[in-house]
Structure 1
Amino acid sequence: MDKKKILIIAHGHPDVHKGGAELAAYQLFNEYEKLGHTVTFLARSEEAPHGGAAFSVRNKENELLFHTRQDDDFLFSNIRTRYIWSELRDLLKRLQPEVVHFHHFFLMGIETLLEVRKTLPNVKIIFTLHEYLAICNANGLMLKPNTGKLCSKASPRDCHNCFPEKSPADFFMREMYIKRAFSVVDRFVSPSEFLKQRYVDWGIDSSLIEVIENGTPEIEHELSASATTSSSFSKVRLAYFGQINCFKGLDVLLDALQLMDKETRLQFVLNIHGANLEHQPLEFQEKVYSALKRLKGTVFLHGPYENHELPELLTEIDWMVVPSIWYENSPIVIQEAFRSGVPVIASNIGGMREKVVNEVNGLTFSVGKPLSLQSVLTRVSNNPDLLAKCKKGVQKPESITETALQNLALY
């Protein structure tokens, strides 16, 4: 394949913001380097630039931080800091990429798309859609703020009902403004069919969206413990990985354990590896800490982890639990569990449902329903053969190399 000059743009650097989209973009950047392409990683940063410059170097010369901000959270617009666009244009002219691959517009200003097209009229612009922010004003969660119910499709009238301070006309104009920026994109990438369909329903031509999974790097060293099953242990070992917030469903998992009788609950141990609980609403924090106190001896909170630690941590568990209450697109933790041969217990919606096939490579339960999850966990404790069956059904996910080659073919 011909070598390409590629610019990857993300809304954060994974050294600072450890979200899935940042990690997916950075892993793709590293893989392109290994394949011999000329590639630059440009990540938006909150850090104050040295000497007021728009850009600074992060780790090496082709890893840059873009010091900008989003001023209008409704339109994702960059208003007061547009004076730095001249420096962005200078950077684009200096790099002269053949392809600019966006992994977000959030926090940079959606006009960044338009500036790239204006500066480089013939460049190919690719945009990986990682979530639903363009569609949904409720933090892109597609959850109705007033009821907490899932929403499958947006309209100006329905969005006004969720945010009465904004008129239906405001939401119509928001949609038109975002779609104007999206009109300069040559092709979109979606890591799941579910996410693709949401954007097709919103108005993007289906033929413009290619489904390409977020690949995972190979595990550098084989970990012999990865073959162990719970037959070697007296308890069923569960684990939760990722951000701890109101939408990831940790409280649903804790409620499910509390619904069990004491004898059943003593058959489980749950390790929680996650960050940012202290930044959540006080009511949610109190609920989690109260549950942890009641589940002392069964549940252990370990705090944040580094991504390179995950393979080793996964050798110590039987099941990963992904109890999110929103339409997760393509949780990287599921891919990483499967890479290590670990089956997953997940909510039965969104991209989770695409990946986790009930009683094949994991188990599913009714989203947001602690009683449904409790029933699944009780089945696990009563049927030890389920683990062996689901482990056998786990297939190795696409590697980052396979993902990179698919993206390169799209370019």
Structure 2
Amino acid sequence: MDKKKILIIAHGHPDVHKGGAEIAAYQLFNEYETLGHDVTFLARSEEAPHGGAAFSVRNKANELLFHTRQDDDFLFSNIRTRYIWSELRDLLKRLQPEVVHFHHFFLMGVETLLEVRKTLPEAKIVFTLHEYLAICHANGLMLKPHSQKLCAKSSPRNCHNCFPEKSPADFFMREMYIKRAFSVVDRFVSPSEFLKQRYVDWGIDSSLIEVIENGTPELDKHAQMNDSVSRSSTKVRLAYFGQINCFKGLDVLLDALLLMDKDTRQQFVLNIHGANLEYQPAEFQEKVYSALKRLKGTVFLHGPYENHELPALLADTDWMVVPSIWYENSPIVIQEAFRSNVPVITSNIGGMAEKVTNMKNGLHFNVGKPLSLCAVLEKVAKDKNLHKQCVAGIIPPPKLSETAKANLALY
């Protein structure tokens, strides 16, 4: 195996920001290190730098924090901190990586791509696309801001209709500006076919995008696996994992439980493992807390969790529910569920529907429709064989080592 010099760039460190993209980038970094490659992890940080320096060390010498920010949230441009590009340039010259693998440009500035190409003309630039921010100004959600309707395809005119304060010309120039930065990328990686097709529709050549799923680390040999045969609970144990916000669909799940008659609802228990509810709009918080009060004894809010705790939490879970109202890309929690032999109930769109095959390794419901989810849950309660059927249909997700080898082959 040829030893490679690799720089991985992410928009946050998973010690601080526990998003799927940050975790995927950091896990890949750790796997490369295990394989003996000369690898550095560079994560953007909003923490104040020590002594005004652009960079600082996080955990060890090859884990660096990049203290910068983006000043233009429309173009993802870094305007007022251009002086940092000189320091970034110095870092790139010192590291001299053969491969620079981006997992985002967000919060650093899309010009980072151009700076890497300018400084390292011979290096290979790879970019893993984790969501739709480049395509969609609505936080990359592909949801129309006022109606919350899913957006089929972006265009300057469609985007202007969502954001009237910006002209179609503004959106055209935004697209050109981002595509100019993307033009220096040698190869893109997409964790799902759905996400790839979105970017192909947007204008990236299909041959430049390789679909490589996010791998999962192997379970510790002592980790407890979910066992559908020796279930100790008489209730159907549901679990929700991830951020709690307006787009993840927790309110849809709670509404589905509220729609049930009391006797049916008593057959379920829902454990919610998630954070950031307190940062959501007041109306959303009020809706969730009101539902939790009405569902006392059925639903339990446990707060945030660490990634290493997932296997133990999933060992006490019959079904994971992923009710997001946006397309998602390739939720890592779905991979984690399958690794632990837990089937998934999910919205019937995007990367979620791609990963979960209805009636094989999980169940679909109509996105954003509590009544549809309620009907699926009632079906689960009535038909005890559904769980065994879906567990039997689970194919283990790719191992992290397989994902690393696929990326290395792309380099």
Q: Report the TM range for the smaller structure's normalisation.
A: over 0.9
Q: Is 1:386 the counterpart of 2:372 in the alignment? A: no
Q: Deviations over 1:279-320 (max 9, x none)?
A: 000000000000000000000000000000000000001000
Deviation at 1:229, TM superposition (A): 4.6
Distance 2:113 2:238 in 1: 42
Match of 1:108 in 2: 108
Query: Could you tell me how far apart the structure 2 residues matched to 1:347 and 1:132 are?
Result: 18
Secondary structure (helix, strand or coil) at the match of 2:151 reads: coil
Specify the alignment match of 2:265 in structure 1.
Answer: 265
* Contact 1:230–1:237 under 8 Å retained in 2: no
1-side partners of 2:230 and 2:182: how far apart? 49
Deviations 1:109-128, CA, capped at 9 Å, x for gaps: 00000000000011100000
CA deviation profile, 1:114-165 (whole Å, cap 9, x unmatched) = 0000000111000000000000000000000011100021000000000000
SS in 2 for 1:226: coil
1:226 aligned partner = 226
Number of the residue aligned with 1:183: 183
Q: Kindly indicate whether the alpha-carbon contact (under 8 Å) linking 2:55 and 2:66 is maintained by their aligned counterparts in 1.
A: yes
Matched, 1:145 2:145: yes
The aligned residue for residue 292 of structure 2 is 292
CA deviation map 1:339-386 (0-9, x unaligned): 000000000000001110111001010000000000000000000010
**What's the TM-score, normalizing by structure 2?**
0.99
Alignment pair present for 1:344 and 2:344: yes
The 1-side partners of 2:303 and 2:399 are apart by 28
Alpha-carbon distance between aligned partners in 2 of 1:327 and 1:224, rounded to the nearest angstrom: 31
Which digits, 9 at most, give the CA deviation of each residue in 1:46-66, with x for residues without a partner?
A: 000000000000000000000
Q: What are the ranges of 5 or more consecutive residues in structure 1 without an aligned counterpart?
A: none
What is the 5 A alignment of 1:11-410? 11-229=11-229, 231-410=231-410
Q: Distance in 2 between matches of 1:232 and 1:7?
A: 47
Q: What is the identity, as a one-letter code, of the residue corresponding to 1:291?
A: A
Aligned residues between the structures: 411
- Structure 1 residues 184 and 60: alpha-carbon distance in aligned structure 2, compared to 1, 3 A threshold: same
Residues 237 and 268, structure 1, Cα contact 8 Å, conserved in 2? yes
Change (3 A) 1:157 1:342: same
Residues 147/275 of structure 1: CA separation in 2 closer, same or farther (3 Å cut): same
Aligned partner of 2:105: which letter?
F
CA distance in 1, matches of 2:291, 2:229: 28
> For 1:15, what is the secondary structure of its paired residue?
coil
Distance in 2 between residues matched to 1:334 and 1:85, nearest whole Å:
38
Give the letter for the 2:400 counterpart. Answer: I
| 8 Å contact from structure 1 (residues 380, 386) kept in 2 | yes
Task: Give the residue type in structure 2 aligned to 1:97.
Answer: P
- Distance in 1, Cα, partners of 2:395 & 2:160: 43
Secondary structure of 1:270's counterpart equals strand
Percent identical across equivalent pairs?
83
CA RMSD for the aligned pairs? 0.8
How far apart are the structure 2 equivalents of 1:239 and 1:345?
Answer: 10
Secondary structure of 1:86's aligned partner = helix
1:292/1:36 Cα in 2 relative to 1: closer, same or farther (>3 Å)?
same
Q: Which consecutive unaligned segments of at least 5 residues does structure 2 have?
A: none
Kindly indicate whether the alpha-carbon contact (under 8 Å) linking 1:229 and 1:318 is maintained by their aligned counterparts in 2.
Answer: no
Whole-angstrom distance in 1 between the partners of 2:74 and 2:396:
40
TM score, norm. by length of structure 1: 0.99
The 1-side partners of 2:225 and 2:3 are apart by 40
- CA–CA distance in structure 1, aligned partners of residues 170 and 223 of structure 2: 54
